Each structure stands twice: as C-alpha cells, then as structure tokens.
Amino acid sequence: MDLKKIIPANIQILKPYVAGKTITEVQKEFKPSRMSKLASNENRLGCSSLVSKAVLDSLSHLHDYPDPVAKKLRKKVADMNGVEENEILLAAGSESVISILCRTFFNDGEHALTANATFVGFLVQAGVRGISVHKIPITNDYRFDIDAILKAVRPETKMVYIANPNNPTGTYINKNEYQRLVDSLPEDVLLIADEAYFEFAESVKDYPHALDYRKDNVIILRTFSKAYGLAGFRIGYAIADNRLIKEMMKAKLTFEPTTPAQAAAFAALDDQEFINRSVQMVENGRVRLYDFFQKHDVEYVPSISNSVLMVLDNEEEAVDFTQAMLKQGVILRRVNAFGLPNCVRITIGTPQDMEHFEESFLNIAELKKQLKISSEYYE
C-alpha cells in the first residue's frame, strides 16, 4: 500500500495531536505525592452540582437519537444571549463549530487569516480541509496585530479567526481594536470571534463583548468546556446571522451534541453561582501567580483568561521546566504547537493547585542552585 497515493497531501503534513499526560499516567510514571493538572485550561473546580442529576435523567433516553437542533437548550442559550433561536448552532464543542466553519464556507483558493500564536484547533481543522491559513505575527506584547491582519486581507480572504481572549497568550483585543476590525473588514469576509474564555474576561472594562458589535459577517463562538467545566461532554455553540447558521446546519453532524451533553449544558446554565465561584477562583489565582512570578523574577504575559503564559529563555528551558514539574505531579502545557516554543502555559486552578505549583517551582529552583554549586566546586 502506497500511503502517499492514498493520503492527500494536506492530511500527510498534519501532525497527530499529542495529548498531554493524563493524571493516571503521571501517577504511574513518577509517583508524585500529589497531582495538579494545569495543562488544558479546564475548570479545576469541576462543574455545577446540578449537572450529574440532569445527566443521569438523560440516560433513560440513550437508545434514541439526540434532538438534532437541541431545541430546548437552543432556546435557553438564545434567551441568555438576547438573540433568536435560529441564530444559535450547538455542536460537539467549539472545535466542532470550527470544523463546521471550515466545511461550510470555503471555495477553492480561498484562505483564512489569523495570528501566528493562537488556538491550534483552528489550524488543524483548516488543514484537514486543505484550507491555507496566513499567520500574522503577534505584537511584541503577545497580542493579535489588528492593523497587520487588516493589511493582509486580499480578495481571496474568506475568514479572519481571532480568539478573544487568546489561547495560549491570555491577551485580548480591546474595544477600540475590535471596533476597527469589525468596521474595516469587507462584508463578505467572515470574522470568527472565538470567546471560549468569555466568562473569565467579560468584566474587564476594555474587553469587547462580540455580541455588542454584531454584524452579518460576524460569527461568535462560545463553549461549555471552560468556565462551565464540561470539557468531557463536548458541547459549544455559535451565534450568528440566521442565514449563516442555516448553511452551517447543513454541514453539522446531524446528531451532535449528544443527549447527555445537551442535558448537562442545560442544567449548568442554571448555576450562575458556580460560574461566579469559578471566575473568582481564577481571579484570585491569577493575582497570586503574578505576585509569585514577580517575586522570583519570572517573565510572564498578563492574562484575562484562565491561564497564564510563562516566558522562558529558550525552548530547551521550556522542555526541562515542564518535565521537572511533571515529576513533581504538576502537569503544564508547552505551547510549541501554538507557535511559542519558549513558553509554558499554566492553567489557573484551586488555591491547593497554585500552592503545589509554587512549591514545585521552588524545589526545582533549589535543585538547580545546588547543581550549579556542585558543578562549580568540581570545575
């Protein structure tokens, strides 16, 4: 079998997703006394206690296909966002919505624009469809460069993808920049405003809620994977002009999201107290992490998301640091695949997680100091 003949070139060049180590794998390999999974921007508080009953109830319907348009949930999500039901599309996570975008809108030869350090899922889904993505360098302060993106728009540009706040940087496009972007893009270029981390950012004064700047060509993405703590269920949604949603519905897998996922999201929306608690935990953890980094002279990128990016001198240091932390039971995320090989992303977790991070960081620093002293002694 000649794989080169069987597999199209755009699939051949994609790299398989390399998952971070699971808690079980790390436990088995390094036997740390405690574990903190701070690698995937999940919610370390878990999810609302309302979810389990709703999901258990949904299990009695598992033999039936899910509601393909998620009617009940769609109405609730529409009401919550002050839009019409036909302006909402629910799918198996916002990554699935991104895949739907890539399947729905591109003609041959059309391309997308985004930053060179952003959510890798967009690049992967575009790559699967053979869509070329022009990556515009981020600014020196790790932000989307709106002017450079606008300058790069060509007649073949079909889509501009921004994540706001961005992953992995945690930085954001401010109100002025977002307004400029919305006003300046030609109306037949789709603007994707991925707000996966919206709940953590919404109270920041200068953070633009994409819903307040709606236009026919803007598609907003939200997810239940982050603040709502439902990453394992796979459910997210798009908000857009109903004519675009109608076309996207044609490309959606008919029966996503699953029945338990729809039930979980429906229940989770009733627990604003859980969201408030999650947002507060992240805010406290962020301040704590900044203090710690400042005290220990660590370069970091200020964030309005549930993660903070640590900037190391080079890729080797990022590899060594991540590995050393892993041995102490702290799972972090290197973000080389996101275009930042010298950086490490830390998800903000519970106070216990942050304490574990700090203690492990200090252990490593101490170990390094001792190694340096002993190597100088033997020189």
Closest approach of Cβ 84 to ligand PLP, in Å? 22
Query: Tell me, what amino acid is at 35?
Result: M
Closest approach of Cβ 113 to ligand PLP, in Å? 16
Site for ligand PLP in 169-198 (CB under 6 A): 194, 196
- Residue of 48, 225, 262, 278 that binds ligand PLP (CB under 6 A): 225
CB nearer to ligand PLP: pick between 170 and 329:
170
Total residues in contact with ligand PLP, by rule CB under 6 A: 14
Q: What residue number has its CB nearest to ligand PLP?
A: 93
Q: Helix H segments across the chain? A: 3-6, 9-12, 23-30, 50-58, 71-81, 94-105, 120-128, 146-152, 175-184, 198-201, 242-251, 259-268, 272-295, 315-327, 351-378
125 in contact with ligand PLP (CB under 6 A): no
Query: Which of the stretches 6-14, 93-101, 292-300, 356-364 binds ligand PLP when contact is defined by CB under 6 A?
Result: 93-101
Closest approach of Cβ 167 to ligand PLP, in Å? 3
CB nearer to ligand PLP: pick between 191 and 360:
191
For 301, phi and psi rounded to 5 degrees?
Answer: -105, 120
Closest CA to 323 of 39, 15, 117: 39
Closest approach of Cβ 140 to ligand PLP, in Å? 21
Q: Which residue has the tokens 């459910």?
A: 235
Whether a cis peptide bond, with omega within 30° of 0, leads into 165 is yes
- Residue of 69, 78, 128, 231 that binds ligand PLP (CB under 6 A): 231
88: its two tokens: 């909402």
What H or E segment, with its residue span, contains residue 114? strand 111-115
Closest approach of Cβ 129 to ligand PLP, in Å? 17
306 in contact with ligand PLP (CB under 6 A): no
Closest CA to 131 of 35, 282, 8: 8
Closest CA to 316 of 334, 329, 298, 297: 334
The secondary structure of residue 26, as a DSSP letter, is: H
Closest CA to 234 of 50, 330, 24, 92: 92
Site string for ligand PLP, 8-47 (x = CB under 6 A): ---------------------------------x------
CB nearer to ligand PLP: pick between 269 and 360:
269
339 in contact with ligand PLP (CB under 6 A): no
Q: Which residues bind ligand PLP (CB under 6 A)?
A: 41, 93-95, 119, 121, 163, 167, 194, 196, 223, 225, 231, 236
